[in-house]
Amino acid sequence: MPTVTVVRADEVEPFHNARTGLTVRPTVGPRTEFDALEQAVLECPAGRSQTISVGDVEETLFVLDGRGTIHIGGQSHPLEPEVGVYLPPESKFVLESAPDAPLRVVAVRVPDPSPGPPSPAQVNRLAESELEPATTRREFRIVADPNNGLRSATHFVGYIPPDRAPDHFHTYDEVIYVLDGEGVMHAGAFSGPVSAGACIQLPARTVHCLQNTGTEPMRIVAVFRPAGSPATAFYPDGTPAFYEGAQHHTPEEE
């Protein structure tokens, strides 16, 4: 049974493509006995390109550092930090870095995608997504979900204020990459430090809290399945957790 796992991307043994220079660091997923999602950090050296086939999965990308271009379906889209990409099953794309710096992205593959006709690839800028409230003063922006292509999961950036939220759980499986900030991941007897570059595997229904111990908001980029709202959470006794200021209600009142 999968458990909460925290690894640092820069400590994962990389795979290198000698021809293109692409580096792949498989962080959490099958190697950590987690089959729901597969996360990796890809780095394309400056001025190089790599052709990648998606296979029978859905895939998301989120640019961490650098600039470049993604070529897919006969179109080219510029890439820069905080740009997200949705890639449908069986697609093929070329990841190209700018000549002056490497391009680094976090990629998540979603196996066994939901049935239905695939949507075309989508490129979305985080700044163009609406900021929405979640539980205990936390906020998020959607990068991709079923409303804009990604059928099987939700791809989002979360903002965690300096505080420890009450322990809670989600009904979805999730993989997380810490963009910036520092804190502690608590889950039962597990407690481990996290900071920029930490990767977290969070199985569904695991009671946990990602605590921000710094003085500024912590930012994470995450993918969870099945798709839904990042604001949906439950306290350990199974009662819904609500974001601060929300009107408490029951499903019967909707």
**In the chain, where the domains are located:** 13-114, 127-236
* Per-residue confidence (pLDDT) for residue 195, from 0 to 100: 98
Query: How far, in whole angstroms, is CA 223 from its chain's centroid?
Result: 4
> pLDDT (tens digit, 0 to 9) for every residue of the chain, 254 residues total?
789 999 999 999 999 999 999 999 999 999 999 999 999 999 999 999 999 999 999 999 999 999 999 999 899 999 999 999 999 999 999 999 999 999 999 999 999 998 888 889 999 999 999 999 987 789 999 999 999 999 999 999 999 999 888 999 999 999 999 999 999 999 998 999 999 999 999 999 999 999 999 999 999 999 999 999 999 999 999 999 865 443 333 333 33
**String of b and e for 180-210 (b: at least 16 CB within 10 Å)?**
ebbbebbbeeeeeebebbbbbbbbeebebbb
pLDDT of residue 116: 84
Tell me the CATH class for 127-236: mainly beta
Under CATH, which architecture does the 13-114 domain have? Sandwich (2.60)
Q: How many whole angstroms separate alpha carbon 116 and alpha carbon 141?
A: 25
- Please determine whether the domains at 13-114 and 127-236 fall in the same fold group of CATH: yes
Nearest in space to 58 (alpha carbons), one of 144, 170, 126: 144
Q: pTM surpassing 0.85?
A: yes
